[in-house]
Amino acid sequence: MAGTVLVFVFLVLCCSQAQRLVNLVLLPDAVNDGAVCLDGSAPGYYINKTSVNRWIIHLEGGGWCYDESDCYGRSSTRLGSSSMWQKAMQLSGFLNNDPDVNPEFANYSVVFVPYCDGASFSGNLDNPITIKDKKIYFRGHRILDAVLNSLREKEHLDQAEAIILTGCSAGGLSTYLHLDYVQSMFSNIKVHGMADAGYFIDAANIHGEMYIRGQYQHVFEMQNCSGGVNSECIHSKEESERWQCFMAQYTYPYIKTPIFVLNSEYDTWQLESILQIGCRPPNCSESQMQLIAHWRTTFLQALQPAIQSTTNGLFTDACLHHCQSMSDQSWSKIMVKNQTAHDTFVAWLDMKGTRNVRVVDDHTNPDNPTCG
């Protein structure tokens, strides 16, 4: 998944026409508090401050490292070390500062938090592990704390009127896991979440095996994530089931802060990595298409708490993609029941107008004609 997401992000960041430049702020002092990337380097964030009142905080995605060896390899990439981060980057879609493309959010201050811990900003293991004479640190939740504290102290984030926490893929999962925590840190501010492509479900693959369950469980236990996910979820589970709180499907019912779900019903990463279908429509056999149709049914069943919510928002589409909020095309042009993800989110956030704030695509195949 990491390679696929990196290619996607590269294309989004480099090829959009109207984009926002954000500059890197490293946090070397955070190292003293143990807030470090996998390789022990300092965390940080990219920022473009245009408003003191309204903020978007985006948590980057990029998969997870599933075991110790995987984390060792990841520690030598930009998803595990800040030593490889560029000094500035450009953003688009929901983070676009072009008012013609993104009028409601163009004037928000944007913080983009690069991902370097391998567990959706959730791990907190006191002692590093040693692999091949290299120390590997699992400190994602300390990174999140360091970023939020820096924003409070340097940018006076605690004086804001509104914060939107968002992210895509593993960052979308981060949004589900940490939204209530962010609200608790800024209790006097209206906090909303928008989780893009982070509703990974606990489902069987084509052989009937619950393969992905073991993957998430090992990440949760390896990185000591029990203190870095939704506390209400953790307190409701027996110890043997607490790993479930690392999955949006099980965490969503415990989230108290308003949240908007943005997801494809045919999410390409989930089809490839959870269902393990081995093809992509239209290049699939009839039997494979039947399995994909059954996947959609399974996904929508797991999504029922969000579909039935009377307060939270939702937009799902019948498109073959993974992550869409950072693309001008998919954020503002894919249509479901005559409205876009952008339209639906704005309607939900403002609670004004006549648009539906919970939209589910009825296409039973990934053939929504506006997918592009």
**DSSP 8-class letter at 97:** -
In the residue annotation, 100 being an active-site residue is answered as no
Closest CA to 123 of 115, 131, 114: 115
**Alpha-carbon span 167 to 121, nearest angstrom:** 12
In the residue annotation, 133 being an active-site residue is answered as no
**Alpha-carbon span 293 to 206, nearest angstrom:** 12
Half-sphere exposure for 38 (CA within 13 Å, toward CB): 28
**Alpha-carbon span 88 to 4, nearest angstrom:** 22
The answer for residues whose C-beta is within 8 angstroms of residue 142's C-beta and 6 or more apart is 30, 33, 34, 35, 36, 124
> Phi and psi of 345, rounded to 5°?
-65, -45
**DSSP 8-class letter at 359:** E
The answer for residues whose C-beta is within 8 angstroms of residue 293's C-beta and 6 or more apart is 364, 365
DSSP 177-226: HHHHHHHHHTTTSEEEEEEES--------TTS--HHHHHHHHHHHHTT-T
Q: Judging by beta carbons within 10 Å of its beta carbon (0-12, 13-18, 19+), is residue 276 exposed, middle or buried?
A: middle
Peptide bond before residue 369 is cis, with ω within 30 degrees of 0: no
**Which of 92, 120, 169, 330 is the catalytic position?**
169
Contact call for residues 57 and 149 (beta carbons, < 8 A): no
**Which of 39, 117, 196, 267 is the catalytic position?**
267
**Alpha-carbon span 137 to 145, nearest angstrom:** 16
In the residue annotation, 178 being an active-site residue is answered as no
Contact call for residues 108 and 54 (beta carbons, < 8 A): yes
Element (H, E) at 262: strand 259-264
**Alpha-carbon span 290 to 271, nearest angstrom:** 13
**Which of 58, 178, 321, 322 is the catalytic position?**
322
Encoded tokens for 168: 């895509």
Which residues belong to the active site?
A: 169, 267, 322
